[in-house]
Amino acid sequence: MSNNMHTEVKQLIIDTLELEDIEVNEIVDSEPLFVEGLGLDSIDALELGIAIQKKYGIKMDAETQDTREYFASVNALVNFIKQNRH
Amino acid sequence: MSYPESGITFCIKDWAACAPGLTCQQDWQEWSAGKKAPSVDQSFDVKQVPPMLRRRLGTLGKAVAYTLCQIAWDAHIPSVFCSRHGAIQQTYKLLSDLADEKPLSPAHFSLSVHNAIAGMLSIARKDVSSITALSAGADGLWQMLLEAYGQLGQPDVEEVLCVIYDEPLPELYTRYVNDTPFTHALSFVLSKQKDKGQAMTLKSVDLHHASSARDKDTPPALQFIRFLSTDTLNQIVSTGHSNQWMLSKTE
C-alpha cells in the first residue's frame, strides 16, 4: 500500500512536471526533490501544489515554512498527503 | 517612419530552418521546389538544451532551439526574436483554463510572455547578449530585418542573430487569421560586412506599385526560406500592413 502511494506520487511528479526523460524507479524516495537530487525549481513547487490540490483535494499554503518540509522528498510528500487527504 | 529610397542593404551569413520533417537546407530546397512536404512528426532533437529546461519548451520552442543548435549555439551576439502569435497553443490552453475557472499551470503561466522562448534559450546557451522580442502582425519578418539592421548601426555590433517562428493557430482563431500552415522556425545571422554571405536589399514600395500576390497565403518567413533555398529566385515582394516589401539579392 505504501509503495503504491510512493509510485503514484512519483508518477504525478513526472506527469505534472513533464519530466519526459525520467522514469518512476529513477526517483529515490528519500532524496531531495528540489535543487539537489531531482533538481526541481520553485515553479515546479507551485505546479506540484496545484496538482496535489486537484488530485487529493489538499490545499497547500505557500506562505508557511512547513510547505518546504512537505516538498523535501517523496517520503515527506507521501506522509503529508496521507495525513491531510479526506 | 520613412525609409531611404534606395532601401537598406545587409548580408545573410548563415541560416537554418526547421519544421516537422524539414530540418536541413537540402530539405528546404526540396520543399521550395514542391518536392517535399512537412511531416506529422513534431519531434526535434535538441539534446544541447539541458533536460530540465528542455521539458519547458513546447514544439515551437524546440523548433527554435533546433535552428540555433545548427548555426548559433555558441554565438554570443545581440539577437532579435520575432513571432506573430508566439506559443499560441500554450496561450490558448491557459485562456481556456481561465474561462473554465480552472487553476492555471504556473509553469505555463510563467512562460506566457512573448520573450519566453528567447529567455529560456539564452539560459541554455549561457548568452547574456541583448535580446529583442518582436511581434509585428503580418509584417514580422520585415520589421525584424529593420530592427536588426538598426542594431548593426550601433558601435561594436558586427552581427545580429535573427530568429522568426510561428505555429498553427488553434481552430477557434482560424476564421479570423489562418496564416501559419505548419510549425516553423528560421534563424539567420545578419551582418553588415558585404563579403560575408548573401547580400540583400530591402525596400518599402507603395501598395499600388508592385503586383506579385502569388505568395499571399504563405507567411513571409516561409517565403524567405524559399528565397534563401532557391538560387534562381532573386526577388520577393510581400504585401505588408500599409505598404509592400521588396527584397532583392544583390552582388
Residue B211 has a pLDDT of 53
In the structure, what pLDDT confidence band is assigned to residue B1 with cuts at 50, 70 and 90? Answer: very low
The predicted model gives A4-30 an average pLDDT of 91
Q: CB contact, 8 Å: B50 with chain A?
A: no
The predicted model gives A22-40 an average pLDDT of 88
- Flag whether pLDDT at B142 surpasses 60: yes
The predicted model gives B70-99 an average pLDDT of 95
Indicate which of B100, B105, B109, B113 best probes the interface with A, i.e. most A CBs within 10 Å of its own CB: B105
Q: Does A17 sit within 8 Å of B110, measured CB to CB?
A: no
Fold of B11-199: Peroxisomal Thiolase; Chain A, domain 1 (3.40.47)
Q: CB contact, 8 Å: A18 with chain B?
A: yes
**Residue among A21, A46, A53 whose CB faces B51 most closely:** A21
- In chain A, whose CA is at the least distance from the CA of B56? A18
Q: Whole-number mean pLDDT of chain B?
A: 91
The ranges assigned to domains in chain A are 2-84
**Residue among B51, B54, B107 whose CB faces A43 most closely:** B107
Residue B215 has a pLDDT of 59
pLDDT digits over B171-181, tens only? 999 999 999 99
First vs last C-alpha separation in chain A? 17
Q: CB contact, 8 Å: B93 with chain A?
A: no
Indicate which of B55, B94, B98, B104 best probes the interface with A, i.e. most A CBs within 10 Å of its own CB: B55
The predicted model gives B32-55 an average pLDDT of 91
CB atoms within 10 A of CB A11: 13
CA nearest to B13, candidates B73, B71, B79? B71
CB atoms within 10 A of CB B180: 21
Picking from A60-74, B19-33, B42-56, which range would have the lowest pLDDT averaged per residue? A60-74
Asked if B53 and B111 touch (Cβ cutoff 8 Å), the reply is no
- Flag whether pLDDT at B194 surpasses 80: no
Q: Does A17 sit within 8 Å of B107, measured CB to CB?
A: yes
In the structure, what pLDDT confidence band is assigned to residue A36 with cuts at 50, 70 and 90? Answer: confident
What percentage of chain A has pLDDT greater than the value 70? Answer: 95
Where is pLDDT greater, at A41 or A60?
A41
Strand B159-166 to B79-82 pairing: parallel
The predicted model gives A67-81 an average pLDDT of 90
The predicted model gives B201-214 an average pLDDT of 70
Contacts of B102 (CB under 8 A, 6+ apart): none
Residue A3 has a pLDDT of 79
Distance CA B26, CA B167 (A): 22
Joined together, the cell numbers standing for residue B47 give 539534446
pLDDT digits over A38-48, tens only? 889 889 999 99
Q: Does A44 sit within 8 Å of B103, measured CB to CB?
A: no
Q: How would CATH label the architecture of A2-84?
A: Orthogonal Bundle (1.10)
The predicted model gives B71-87 an average pLDDT of 96
CA distance A68 to chain B (A): 18
Q: CB contact, 8 Å: A61 with chain B?
A: no
CA nearest to B46, candidates B59, B37, B34? B59
- Flag whether pLDDT at B209 surpasses 60: no
Whole-angstrom Cα Rg for chain A:
12
The ranges assigned to domains in chain B are 11-199
Picking from B58-72, B153-167, B182-196, B197-211, which range would have the lowest pLDDT averaged per residue? B197-211
- ipTM for the predicted complex: 0.79
CB atoms within 10 A of CB B28: 25
For residue B240, give the DSSP letter: -
pLDDT digits over B143-175, tens only? 999 999 999 999 999 999 999 999 999 999 999
Which residues does chain B have within 8 Å of residue A20's beta carbon, measured at their own beta carbons? 51, 54-55
Q: Does A19 sit within 8 Å of B107, measured CB to CB?
A: no
Q: CB contact, 8 Å: B51 with chain A?
A: yes
